[in-house]
Amino acid sequence: MKSSDQDRCYLNDEGDSFFARNMGQADPDVLRPKKREIAERIASCGLQPMRVIEYGCNYGDLLKHYAEQGAECYGIEASGDAVEFGRKHYASAIELIQGSIADNALNREGGHCGFFDLAIIDDVFCWVSRETLMQSIANIDAVLAEGGHLFIREFFPLRSTRNRNHHVKDQEIYCYKLAGLHAGVFTASENYQVLARHSWIDDHDGWVDGKDEHRFESRWVDSILRKSTQDYFATAQPPA
Ligand SMILES: C[S@@+](CC[C@H](N)C(=O)[O-])C[C@H]1O[C@@H](n2cnc3c(N)ncnc32)[C@H](O)[C@@H]1O
């Protein structure tokens, strides 16, 4: 495994600090509104997943929602405090593992290859170290079944940018926003096709001048991709 200061920072400090800053008042019995929205978007595509994994799941409320519908659920999360909170409140309903997308016990053990029919990554890719990005993508692809679906929520800027995480003072930690999208890395392989997309701009409703790059810094997109290693290729016929 390549080492990465940014992933290590999330595992050792920033994951817990994020949890303390944002989840202090979390009610484990109520699905957060943003998570409800994600569940509704996935359901609107007719998907009823039975084996779900979420990477960067925080304390796992969305997984708990799927577990209540009968799904077997696993979460990988950098913050030890978030994992502890989820384990305390959801007990054995879901399996939470502290780790990074690139380096975690579930992927290392290899027993869940092609196991999941849905993988969710909600606002996490931008925080993944660029050194471990491709390993992270390989780990997600490894556990997703043929015909399975991948939900990615991420920034959708006009040009690729990186913004410093101002909460971390002693290290340069960045949020990486890709004009071509992290979802675009999957589709470029031709093993994934877009099933649905929805985009919006934070605190804004209506047309935006394309020159106003600042506004596009807070444009988001939800992508639902379907995986197949076989379906998306036409077999070329040899010349007669
Ligand atoms: C900005 S939050 C996004 C919201 C989050 N998905 C949720 O459900 O609340 C990013 C989350 O991903 C986690 N994280 C950051 N880098 C990670 C990595 N490389 N692998 C796994 N989790 C990571 C953080 O600890 C945090 O919980």
CB distance 15 to ligand 1 below 6 Å: yes
What is the reported pLDDT for 207?
84
Q: Give a yes or no: residue 212 inside a domain.
A: yes
Nearest atom in ligand 1 to the alpha carbon of residue 128 is: 19
Residue 25 lies in a domain: yes
Query: Is there a domain that residue 236 lies in?
Result: no
Structure confidence by residue, pLDDT tens digits, 69-104: 999 999 999 999 999 999 999 999 999 999 999 999
58 lines ligand 1 (CB under 6 A): yes
Q: Is the pLDDT of residue 56 over 90?
A: yes
Q: Is residue 147 part of a domain?
A: yes
Average pLDDT over residues 145-167: 97
Which run of H or E residues covers position 74?
strand 72-77
- E-assigned strands of 93-206? 95-98, 116-122, 144-155, 161-164, 174-177, 192-201
State how far the Cα of 152 lies from the Cα of 136, in Å rounded to an integer.
13
Exposed e or buried b per residue across 57-93, where buried means at least 16 C-beta atoms within 10 angstroms of its C-beta? bbbbbbbbbbbeeebbbbbbbbbebbbebbbebbeee
Give the three-class secondary structure for 61.
Answer: helix
- Owning domain of residue 85: 5-227
In a domain, 233, yes or no: no
Q: For the chain, how many structural domains are there in total?
A: 1
Residue 79 lies in a domain: yes
Q: Whose Cα sits closest to atom 20 in ligand 1?
A: 100
The predicted model gives 147-164 an average pLDDT of 97
Which residue CA neighbors atom 24 of ligand 1 most closely? 15
pTM score: 0.96
Per-residue pLDDT, averaged over 33-48, amounts to 98
pLDDT of residue 210: 79
Instruction: Give the CATH number, domain containing residue 162.
Output: 3.40.50.150
Tokens, residue 6: 């940014």
